[in-house]
């Protein structure tokens, strides 16, 4: 059985050393999408559409510039992608630099949650929601 890379009833909280106190839309760099801009684009208007695995793979896929691929080819690339361990969204620049938490529901689907929002504070205080801190920028 394949390893499940998803979280359930959880919040990936912003890193303790996140430089912003309210969420910021990540900028592109040199006109190219960054990990942060791709993840933001996947999630900003689509709450609870993707699981962590989808976000990780689609972020990688979009940044590869592979052109059109068939569903079979994409499935093969996805299997190859997850054949090796991957860092989870705790390493996402959205949670480390830009003030976005990731809220996961019981089915493992996620949405962005701005650090300044009432919903974010409620999730932090909810005993039924596991809080996992994003990785710090510095060790």
Let me know if residue 4 belongs to a domain.
Answer: no
- Can you give the length of the chain in residues? 139
At 38-79, the pLDDT tens digits run 999 999 999 999 999 999 999 999 999 888 999 999 999 999
Let me know if residue 50 belongs to a domain.
Answer: yes
Let me know if residue 39 belongs to a domain.
Answer: yes
Let me know if residue 100 belongs to a domain.
Answer: yes
**Number of domains composing the chain:** 1
Give every CB contact of residue 106 below 8 A, 6+ residues apart in sequence: 8, 9
Domain that holds residue 79: 10-133
Let me know if residue 5 belongs to a domain.
Answer: no
Let me know if residue 139 belongs to a domain.
Answer: no
Let me know if residue 1 belongs to a domain.
Answer: no
CB contact at 8 A, 28 and 34: yes
More confident residue, 30 or 14: 14
């Amino acid at each position: 059985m394949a390893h499940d890379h998803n979280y359930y009833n959880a919040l990936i909280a912003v890193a303790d050393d996140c430089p912003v106190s309210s969420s910021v839309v990540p900028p592109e760099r040199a006109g190219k999408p960054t990990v942060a801009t791709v993840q933001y684009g996947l999630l900003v208007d689509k709450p609870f559409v993707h699981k962590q695995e989808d976000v990780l793979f689609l972020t990688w896929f979009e940044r590869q510039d592979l052109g059109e691929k068939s569903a079979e080819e994409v499935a093969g690339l996805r299997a190859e992608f997850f054949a090796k361990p991957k860092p989870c969204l705790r390493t996402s620049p959205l949670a480390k630099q830009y003030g976005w938490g990731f809220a996961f529901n019981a089915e493992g689907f996620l949405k962005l949650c701005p650090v300044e929002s009432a919903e974010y504070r409620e999730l932090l205080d909810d005993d039924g929601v596991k809080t996992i801190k994003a990785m710090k920028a510095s060790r």
